Amino acid sequence: MATYKGINGFAVQSVASDPSPSDEGQVWYNNATYAFKLASVTTAGSWSSGGAMNTARTTLAGGGTQTAGLAFGGGPPNSAATEAYNGSSWTSVSSMNTARESLAGCGTQTAALAFGGYVASRSTATESYNGTSWTSVNSMTRSPATNSLSGFGIQTSAIAAGGDTPTVRTNVSESWNGTSWTSTPTLGTARYIAGTAGASNTAGIIFGGGDNSGPPPLISATESWNGTSWTAVNSLNTARKALAGAGIQTAALAFGGNSGSVTGATELWNGTSWTTNPNSMTTARQSSAGFGTQTLALVAGGYTTTFVGTTEEWTGPSTTLNYKTLTTS
């Protein structure tokens, strides 16, 4: 009969208090509490409630971090509202010049970019935010104009990709250099309402979205951008549209959307493949604003069975050791 000592080469220690430091998988007997203990690592990320937005809305955009975020636009009806998040509550700040929904955005709380969307019709309008006010800058080059497009990057270095035209989903891609937009090579898969992650106009990914097939018109395909071309990489585990994203090209987060119904599913990207996190969002939602990092992200607003202003904060997988009491159950 195999024994712990026979397998590991040593017996279980009997100690008066839990050892520190300890290693993952270490087992001991605490003779003060009369219990066997195990050191384990909690690996799953989780969502928790944040402060609610002042204006409930869907198809909005955003940028920044979990403790310094910005959400703007959305609807219905078309909104120019902008709100700043400080890690616990939202504050209304200067509105955009052009009220719109189904737009894209990126950047930080004090240096953001808003582009595309739907006004009275599809728009190419671009606006820059300096932490105090919005300024209209050069419009996008795409023709026809699109709404429901996706974007990533910062205020001076961004990518806009995909979107919805009056007749088809598009694979158009454009690069922003802080002054103007330039057409770039097209996506391999035309799509709209996709998720994105990326730090600049030379490094990012796009994932999921919808196309012209269906029902339902769902995509799991992921493409990586290197500043020159788009390359197909491993797909999401859950095909979906109207999802949100956060992070960078090599460490991204995909969450929410519609996979046939509204979902709170969350996946992590390590630069090679997607892993499904066991904990989904508390409130399943689609068409939300998402931003932050793979370890600390935020989702705001969106649609459940109605328009919502609720916010959730993401804390990524932890490597903190936990002590568990071993029982016979």
Verify that 17 and 155 share a domain, yes or no. no
Question: What is the per-residue pLDDT across 114-128, written as a single tens digit (0 to 9) for each?
Answer: 999 999 999 999 999
Do the domain assignments include residue 325?
no
- Are residues 73 and 37 part of one domain? no
DSSP 77-88: TTB--EEEE-SS
Single-letter residue type at 197: A
If you average pLDDT over residues 91-112, what whole number do you get?
A: 98
Amino acid letter, residue 312: E
Query: Residue 11: inside a domain, yes or no?
Result: yes
Phi–psi pair at 96, nearest 5 degrees: -65, 160
Asked if residue 8 and residue 61 are part of one domain, the reply reads no
CATH classification at residue 209? 2.120.10.80
299 lies in the same domain as 150: yes
C-alpha 60/C-alpha 290 separation (Å) is: 9
- Quick one: which of 76, 73, 115 has its CA closest to 95? 73
Instruction: Please give the residue range of the domain that contains residue 186.
Output: 46-315
Residues of the chain above pLDDT 90, percent? 80
Structure tokens at 307: 């328009």
Residue given tokens 């939202």 in the structure block: 90
DSSP character string of 183-196 = EEPPPSS--BS-EE
pLDDT averaged over the chain? Answer: 92
Q: What is the pLDDT of residue 41?
A: 65
CA angle 264, 270, 276 (to 5 degrees): 30
Q: Is the pLDDT of residue 4 over 60?
A: no
Q: Which of 4-8, 21-25, 142-146 has the lowest mean pLDDT?
A: 4-8
Sorting pLDDT into bands at 50, 70 and 90, what band is 21?
low
Q: Mark whether 145 and 8 lie in a shared domain.
A: no
- Count of beta carbons in the 10 Å neighbourhood of residue 278: 10
* Residue 172 maps to a domain: yes
Mark whether 21 and 139 lie in a shared domain.
no
Say whether both 31 and 63 belong to one domain: no
Q: Kindly state whether residues 115 and 17 are assigned to the same domain.
A: no
Residue 85 and residue 9 in one domain = no
Report angle CA 57, 62, 68 to the nearest 5 degrees. Answer: 115
pLDDT (tens digit per residue) in 227-265: 999 999 999 999 999 999 999 999 999 999 999 999 999
* Rounded Cα–Cα distance for residues 103 and 114 (Å): 7
Is 180 part of a structural domain of the chain?
Answer: yes
- Same structural domain for residues 24 and 78? no
Whether 224 maps to a domain, the answer reads yes
* Residue at 327 is within a domain: no
What is the count of structural domains for the chain? 2
233 and 219 part of one domain: yes
In a domain, 166, yes or no: yes
> Is residue 250 in a domain?
yes
| Predicted confidence (pLDDT) per residue in 128-162, tens digit | 999 999 999 999 999 999 999 999 999 999 999 99
Residue matched to tokens 């520190």: 20
* pLDDT tens readout for residues 35-67: 877 676 667 899 999 999 999 999 999 999 999
Query: Do 27 and 115 fall into the same domain?
Result: no
